[in-house]
Structure 1
Amino acid sequence: MKDVKFAITDIETTGNGIKGNRITEICVIVVQDGKVIEEYSSLVNPSQAIPLYIESLTGINDEMVSNAPQFSEIADEVEKITRDCVFVAHNVNFDYNIIRAEFSNLGRDFKRKRLCTVRLTKKLIPGLFSYSLGNICTSINIPHIDRHRAKGDCDATVTLFQRCLSLDPEFEVINQLLNQKTAASYLPPNFKSSDFEKLPVTTGVYFFKDKDGRPLYIGKAKNIKSRIKSHFQERSNRKYKLMQETYSIDYELTGNELLALLRESELILKYYPKFNKAQKKVSRPYTLTSYHNQKGIEQFALHKNKIAPVSWMKFYTREEAIKFLEYLCQEFELCPKYCGLQAGVKVCDHYKITACSGVCENEISIDEYNRRVEKAVEFISRYEDSCLLVEKGRNKNEKSFVYLNKGRYAGFGYIDNSEELKHPEDFRNYLTQSKTSSYADRIVSRYLNTKKNLTKIPLTSTEVSEEMEAETWFG
């Protein structure tokens, strides 16, 4: 590989991560067989104001770049000097992606093989306290003059690269890094590829953590390894900053998506990770209530912003509420007109429900109709009793359960498949108690309204029928 040319590159920018970031200075130094053979550097007019904090860091201000060439004027020179070279930089993905973006703005493509001196140094000089360019130079006595300027940083990176070449004369490590075909080539600079390979391919919650072990970002996935890989490959300012601060990734297996969603929500509210977008404020739920109208008929209604004296259930989308009311109408032969499904009609004429008792046409008495409503209300009260929702476990030998206390999420647990879950004493020894929230309520509500053939075990009433134990009205 003595004939291979390496284009060691450093850029200074206007800041703001990757997208929208513009180059203010660039330096490219080509190394072949350990020797510098070519060099190019220039200030660049970014066609936008340089923020004060960037000026304070680099010393580059608007006046300095006002007469400098724009990137479009030096693109040919950058393309030429890096042609047939391996693109090398400290935290290579940052420099490489910004240069690619500059070419893309011109309608041109820019593709080079990449080599990161952070990863290279970690392989060849392990055990350093920090692998930032400044700290590496201090640790191994490399001159680093004019820091945070493209030429100064590039010169230091060249010396560091030459030091690495002397430690890898057969290019074994360099070849290994250049030929990576997996997500390892996209890994955060402080994250070990061996740790990535150990990540599971099952369902659970994962944590990006900083150097002190504090969660930076929490997410859930059906396939943890695949989802984390997709994070590595995303190109956004926010993800770039997250990758730069990530030192480790942890995970918690859940075995099923319901628990993954609940644990993700609970842990975000517990830790408030800086890179999690604030959980969107859940809109006020739809409340199912009932009242006696002027005719004396017990009538169901949905309210979103009103305080009702009677509240039977809550729904987080109108679609869920309508679906449930349609079920009540069909199951208990109620009238769509008096269930909030039709308005402004004298008699019901619902496109879907044909089992109306006829109260709207005086075919049955109001007392008889209200008794049917009472049965529906009894069903609702039992539906929101405390129960267990049984789901898959983390392996084939166990099952999981979610504990709902009066319809609200209250905890979870795992239990051997051979164990039965019929009485409180059967599950409390396995229970991990959890705090509920509006987010958890919404997750549970969505699950109950979309999951087909769920296993639901009532806990508070010994009179609940077998039919209710695996109720599937929402299917």
Structure 2
Amino acid sequence: MKDVKFAITDIETTGNGIKGNRITEICVIVVQNGKVIDEYSSLVNPSQAIPLYIETLTGINDEMVFNAPQFSEIADEITKITKDCIFVAHNVNFDYNIIRAEFASLDRDFKRKRLCTVRLTKKLIPGLFSYSLGNICTSINIPHIDRHRAKGDCDATVTLFQRCISLDPEFEVINQLLNQKTAASYLPPNFKSSDFEKLPITTGVYFFKDKDGRPLYIGKAKNIKSRIKSHFQEKSNRKYKLMQETYSIDYELTGNELLALLRESELILKFFPKYNKAQKKVSRPYTLTSYHNQKGIEQFALHKNKIAPVSWMKFYTREEAIKFMEFLCEEFQLCPKYCGLQTGVKICDHYKITNCGGVCKGEVSKEEYNARVEKAIEYIERYDDSCLLLEKGRTREEKSFIYLNKGKYAGYGYIGPSDDFNHPEEFKNFLTPAKNSSYADRIVSRYLKIKRNFTKISLSNDEEEPEDLVEHTGIMGAGPHRNSTNRRSSCYENLQITRKIGLFSVH
């Protein structure tokens, strides 16, 4: 391998990450057997304005590149000088992907084997405080003149590469890095490949962390290792910046996707990671309230931005709210006018609801109508019973539970087969409390609405079987908004009163 040519490359750009970034200067120095055998350097007209902060950093301005060749004019030269070479750069994926993008804009392909001097230096010169080019040069006394210019940085990288060759004369480490067939070839420059190999292939939450251990990005996955690998391979500007700032990756196993979603949501709201867009902006839900109007009729109303003294339940889309209110009207013979389904009318004339009973026409007394509303409210309150949702644990022998306190997510826990759990209240010995949020409500709502088979243990007292746990299976919701199309009878048809059971007798 000693006769192999290495094209050490450095570029300066307009500074727009990867996509949309254009080259303003390029330098390629070819090294063979440890010696420089060829060199090419040129300013490049990016065909777009150079931002002021880039001009301040590099000293390259629009005037300097005005008469410089465009990349299309030097593409052949770059192809020629790097042909049959291994492409080498400090943080190689950045330079390589920018150059590939320039070739792609010309409908041309550019493929070379890659070698990163950040990774190479970490292997051969471990323990440095920082592996940025400037700091490495300072640490090991490499001259670094004309920083943030392609020629100056390239010269320093060549010297660094030659130093690495002297430490790896048999090219053992270089061969190892070149022959990586896994995601290690896409790893962030500050992340260890050995740490990647230790990542689990099971369900949970993962954390990209900066050098101080602060979360930069939090995500969930059914297969943590596979999902993280996909992050490494994305080419967006945002992901590129995330990879540059990532120094470690941590994870938390959950055993099931429901708990992974809930933990992801909770942790994002706790840490507000820099690179998480979703869930940072809290949207207001639709709130179902009721009040006595001037006629003394108990009236339902939906509010999104108002604070009401009475709040029966929440919806996260207007469609869910309307469907549920239509259900209440049909089930309890309520009036669409007094359920927020029609406004500005004296007598209801709903396209779907035809059995309101005539309260809007004065054909039903307000006392009789309000009694119907009370029954509807009782129905709503039934869905706010506290319960445990049972799911898979982190191992085959373990089960997890999600605690809903009056229909709201309040925590989670894990139970092993040897743990004593025979009474409903004993779950608190295994509970990790958690804060509820609108996102958690949505996650639970979607789970109960879509999942066709799940296990639910009631924690509420039942008049007939006060000591029993109750098992629910099938499409059932912890609130009508979670299964708003079901009739009341269908909501209870799968209910089974079982003997006093522990978590491990529920299937």
Name the TM-score, length of structure 2 as normaliser: 0.83
* Distance change (3 Å), C-alpha of 1:422 and 1:462: farther
Whether the 8 Å contact between 1:422 and 1:457 is mirrored in structure 2 is: no
Per-residue CA distance 1:123-161 (angstroms, 9 max, x = gap): 222222221112222222322222211111111111222
Aligned-residue offset at 1:339: 5.7
Aligned-residue offset at 1:314: 0.6
Partner Cα distance (1:348, 1:70) in 2: 67
- Do residues 268 (structure 1) and 268 (structure 2) align? yes
Whether the 8 Å contact between 1:92 and 1:116 is mirrored in structure 2 is: yes
Identity across aligned pairs (percent)? 82
Give, as a single letter, the amino acid of the residue that structure 2 aligns with 1:470.
H
- Do residues 231 (structure 1) and 231 (structure 2) align? yes
In the alignment, structure 1 segments of 5+ residues that lack a partner are none
Whether the 8 Å contact between 2:459 and 2:469 is mirrored in structure 1 is: no
Q: Please name the residue that 1:470 is paired with.
A: 472
Q: Please name the residue that 1:2 is paired with.
A: 2
Aligned-residue offset at 1:255: 1.4
SS of equivalent residue, structure 1 residue 402: strand
| Equivalent residues, number | 471
Matches within 5 A, 1:68-467: 68-277=68-277, 279-290=279-290, 300-306=300-306, 308=308, 310-325=310-325, 328=328, 350=352, 371=371, 373-417=373-417, 419-420=420-421, 422-424=423-425, 426-463=426-463
Aligned-residue offset at 1:362: 11
Per-residue CA distance 1:56-88 (angstroms, 9 max, x = gap): 222222222222112121111111111221111
SS of equivalent residue, structure 2 residue 414: strand
Aligned-residue offset at 1:260: 1.5
Whether the 8 Å contact between 2:390 and 2:401 is mirrored in structure 1 is: yes
Partner Cα distance (1:348, 1:67) in 2: 72
Q: Please name the residue that 2:497 is paired with.
A: none
* Distance change (3 Å), C-alpha of 1:385 and 1:129: same
Partner Cα distance (2:399, 2:331) in 1: 32
Partner Cα distance (2:94, 2:367) in 1: 74
Whether the 8 Å contact between 1:422 and 1:459 is mirrored in structure 2 is: no
SS of equivalent residue, structure 1 residue 111: coil
Whether the 8 Å contact between 2:130 and 2:136 is mirrored in structure 1 is: yes
Q: Please name the residue that 2:496 is paired with.
A: none
* Distance change (3 Å), C-alpha of 1:435 and 1:222: same
Give, as a single letter, the amino acid of the residue that structure 2 aligns with 1:120.
L
Give, as a single letter, the amino acid of the residue that structure 1 aligns with 2:472.
A
Partner Cα distance (2:392, 2:328) in 1: 30
Give, as a single letter, the amino acid of the residue that structure 2 aligns with 1:142.
I
Per-residue CA distance 1:274-299 (angstroms, 9 max, x = gap): 22226353432122334678998766
Whether the 8 Å contact between 2:269 and 2:280 is mirrored in structure 1 is: no
Partner Cα distance (1:390, 1:109) in 2: 52
- Do residues 62 (structure 1) and 55 (structure 2) align? no
Aligned-residue offset at 1:192: 0.8
With 339-348 and 47-56 compared, the bigger mean Cα shift is at: 339-348
* Distance change (3 Å), C-alpha of 1:83 and 1:215: same
Aligned-residue offset at 1:169: 2.8
Partner Cα distance (1:54, 1:293) in 2: 64
Whether the 8 Å contact between 1:3 and 1:32 is mirrored in structure 2 is: yes
Per-residue CA distance 1:35-63 (angstroms, 9 max, x = gap): 22111001112222222322222222222
Give, as a single letter, the amino acid of the residue that structure 1 aligns with 2:77.
E
* Distance change (3 Å), C-alpha of 1:305 and 1:335: same
Give, as a single letter, the amino acid of the residue that structure 2 aligns with 1:442.
R
SS of equivalent residue, structure 1 residue 208: strand
Q: Please name the residue that 1:13 is paired with.
A: 13
Whether the 8 Å contact between 2:204 and 2:224 is mirrored in structure 1 is: yes
Whether the 8 Å contact between 1:316 and 1:445 is mirrored in structure 2 is: no
Partner Cα distance (2:429, 2:178) in 1: 52
Aligned-residue offset at 1:308: 4.9
Q: Please name the residue that 2:37 is paired with.
A: 37
With 330-339 and 171-180 compared, the bigger mean Cα shift is at: 330-339
SS of equivalent residue, structure 1 residue 46: coil
Whether the 8 Å contact between 2:342 and 2:348 is mirrored in structure 1 is: no
Aligned-residue offset at 1:349: 6.3
Give, as a single letter, the amino acid of the residue that structure 2 aligns with 1:381.
E
SS of equivalent residue, structure 1 residue 6: strand
* Distance change (3 Å), C-alpha of 1:242 and 1:68: same
Partner Cα distance (1:403, 1:274) in 2: 30
Partner Cα distance (1:302, 1:327) in 2: 15
Partner Cα distance (2:24, 2:49) in 1: 10
SS of equivalent residue, structure 2 residue 396: coil
* Distance change (3 Å), C-alpha of 1:53 and 1:397: same
Whether the 8 Å contact between 1:219 and 1:264 is mirrored in structure 2 is: yes
Aligned-residue offset at 1:307: 5.0
With 70-79 and 124-133 compared, the bigger mean Cα shift is at: 124-133
SS of equivalent residue, structure 2 residue 314: strand
Partner Cα distance (1:411, 1:383) in 2: 18
With 138-147 and 19-28 compared, the bigger mean Cα shift is at: 138-147
Aligned-residue offset at 1:249: 0.4
In the alignment, structure 2 segments of 5+ residues that lack a partner are 478-482, 487-507
Partner Cα distance (2:396, 2:54) in 1: 55
Whether the 8 Å contact between 1:315 and 1:445 is mirrored in structure 2 is: no
